[in-house]
Amino acid sequence: MATLKLGVLISGRGTNLQALIDRCAEQSFPAEIAVVISNRGDAAGLARAAEAGIATEVIPHGDYDGRAAFDAEVGRALERHGVGLVCLAGFMRLLGTEFVDCWRDRLINIHPSLLPAFKGLDTHARALEAGVRFTGCTVHFVRAEMDVGPILVQAAVPVRPGDTEDTLAARVLAAEHRAYPSAVRLIAEGRVRVVDERVEIDGARAPEPTALNPRDD
């Protein structure tokens, strides 16, 4: 099977990008990163890409007259690099409807909550405030509405007594680094279909049922 070419869009530190770089470096992994695009020249993730010998492009959103022009430039860069799947990894710009429709079902995002709970920012603070016993992360196909779209992979992590925003964020981030490459792999292996806005995955197996939090022993 030909390897799937990824375009990874970032705005910041790029730890999810790093997780993808690390998995793509494994010989049996069916995807490779063709280009990393950032809307910010100071994104730390750019150095991670350069270190791995991956092409980078900086497309500063402020240089463009409106969202459509910026999106179009991003689209041209992705096409130039022959990208087949776009991965948003901490990309802090909303992409317009035209771009999202053009890349429909070839555009995924990772979000640090169990969607549809806690869309938007400050997910960990809001999870603590709500008193949920589990939170986690979601990899989903992107639709025009923010943090909405068919769900590919979720990872659940427990909220522990004494958790702060930082401890919870670290636990979820470690789960993100497993979930994102896993979702990419399922797509690259051709096992994923979107049917009626839900994701069907060939040969998907669920984990053992029911984790209680807290335990009562």
Residues in the site for ligand GRF, rule: CB under 6 A? 12-17, 45, 89-90, 110-112, 137, 173, 176
- Tell me the one-letter amino acid at 4: L
Nearer to ligand GRF, 14 or 181 (CB): 14
Do residues 125 and 95 lie in contact, with contact meaning Cβ atoms separated by under 8 Å? no
Q: Cβ closer to ligand GRF: 137 or 184? A: 137
CB 212 to ligand GRF: min, Å? 26
Distance of closest approach, residue 43 Cβ to ligand GRF, in angstroms: 8
List 111, 124, 140, 177, catalytic entry: 111
| Residue 126 DSSP label | H
CA dihedral of residues 70, 76, 80, 84 (deg, nearest 10): 90
Q: For residue 11, give the amino acid letter.
A: S
Choose between 61 and 72: whose C-beta lies nearer to ligand GRF.
61
Q: Which two structure tokens, joined as six digits, stand for 129?
A: 């405030």
Q: Measured from the CB atom, is 71 or 147 closer to ligand GRF?
A: 147
Q: How far is the CB of 176 from ligand GRF (least distance, A)?
A: 5
Check if 140 is active-site.
no
Least Å from the CB of residue 109 to ligand GRF: 7
Give how far the C-alpha of residue 55 lies from the chain's centroid of Cα atoms, to the nearest Å: 19
CA distances from 61 to 90, 208, 209 (A): 15, 45, 45
**DSSP E strand stretches across the chain:** 4-10, 31-38, 56-58, 85-88, 107-111, 134-141, 151-158, 192-195, 198-201
Catalytic residues: 111
